[in-house]
Amino acid sequence: DGGITQSPKYLFRKEGQNVTLSCEQNLNHDAMYWYRQDPGQGLRLIYYSQIVNDFQKGDIAEGYSVSREKKESFPLTVTSAQKNPTAFYLCASSTGNPGSYNEQFFGPGTRLTVL
Amino acid sequence: SQKIEQNSEALNIQEGKTATLTCNYTNYSPAYLQWYRQDPGRGPVFLLLIRENEKEKRKERLKVTFDTTLKQSLFHITASQPADSATYLCALGSGNTGKLIFGQGTTLQVKP
């Protein structure tokens, strides 16, 4: 089955700890994205990558880091510098062809709770 | 700054009626607009895309309009069903990077 997967589904973290959220896709998509969703709010872009070994900050990148060493994988690390990390995190991918108005395919999300 | 607004209040309608959801934006000139459906605790699912030079798009019971003068998109679900109950997100894109800006979503509840 082609698709995008995220793990774990639920994650609990103590304050001061870094934590890494996994995102994998087998859609052969070039572009990948990380969003954060808080209750009653839309999706806010954290980081995105249009090609392997390259990524750009989104609107709320502070306290987060990413890597894109493989086309299929785009892990997100939530660092202790992120002041309010409790949220629902969504990973997405698209073909990334410039100007092609690509739809984004989303994973099932990871709900992170800081205790 | 760029801003997208969707009805923050939930929309409650009776089964069989047409649901109309609104997406307004300011300080932005999108090349296209997309609509997504999101069920509780799950990732959004793409529904429709409409380009800046298109006035209307249809897909089965769904219809989207795009008025770049009013800076508004309307999303219609005809003959609504309880299974249509979900949160609907609009998203704007400018084309080159694939980046989208999302609205906060409108929750639709269709009662049988």
A48 within 8 A of A35, measured Cβ to Cβ: no
User: ω into residue A108 within 30 of 0, thus cis?
Assistant: no
| A71-82 pLDDT, tens digit each | 999 999 999 888
Q: Which residues of A touch B102 (CB under 8 A)?
A: 35, 42-44
Residue A96 near chain B (CB below 8 Å): yes
Band (pLDDT 50/70/90 cuts) for residue B98 is: confident
A101 φ/ψ angles, rounded to the nearest 5 degrees: 55, 45
Per-residue model confidence (pLDDT) at position B82:
97
Preferred mutation among A5, A51, A55, A103 to probe B, highest tally of B CBs within 10 A: A103
Number of CB pairs < 8 Å for A and B?
68
**Contact status, residue B19 vs residue B110, Cβ threshold 8 Å:** yes
What pLDDT is recorded for position A22? 97
Say if residue B18's pLDDT is above 80.
yes
Please provide residue A39's backbone torsions phi and psi, each rounded to the nearest 5 degrees: -55, 130
Give the integer Cα–Cα distance in Å for A77 and A83: 14
Across the interface, of B43, B49, B104, the residue whose CB is closest to A109 is B43
Positive/negative CA dihedral, B105, A112, A103, B40: negative
Share of residues in chain A with pLDDT > 70 (%): 96
**Nearest residue of A to residue B46 by CA position?**
A103
pLDDT band at B9 (very low <50, low <70, confident <90, very high): confident
For an interface test with A, which of B37, B47, B88, B97 has the most A Cβ atoms less than 10 Å from its Cβ?
Answer: B97
**pLDDT for A2:** 65
Angle (nearest 5°) at CA B100 between B86 and B41:
30
Percent of chain A with pLDDT over 90: 78
Distance from CA of B101 to the nearest CA of A (A): 8
- Least Cα separation, residue B66 to chain A (angstroms): 15
DSSP state of B111: E
| Average pLDDT estimate for B24-39 | 92
Residue in B closest to A57 by C-alpha: B99
Q: Lowest-confidence range among A43-47, A100-104, A105-109, B103-107?
A: A100-104
Distance from C-alpha of B58 to C-alpha of B92, rounded to nearest angstrom = 18
Say whether pLDDT at B103 is over 80.
yes
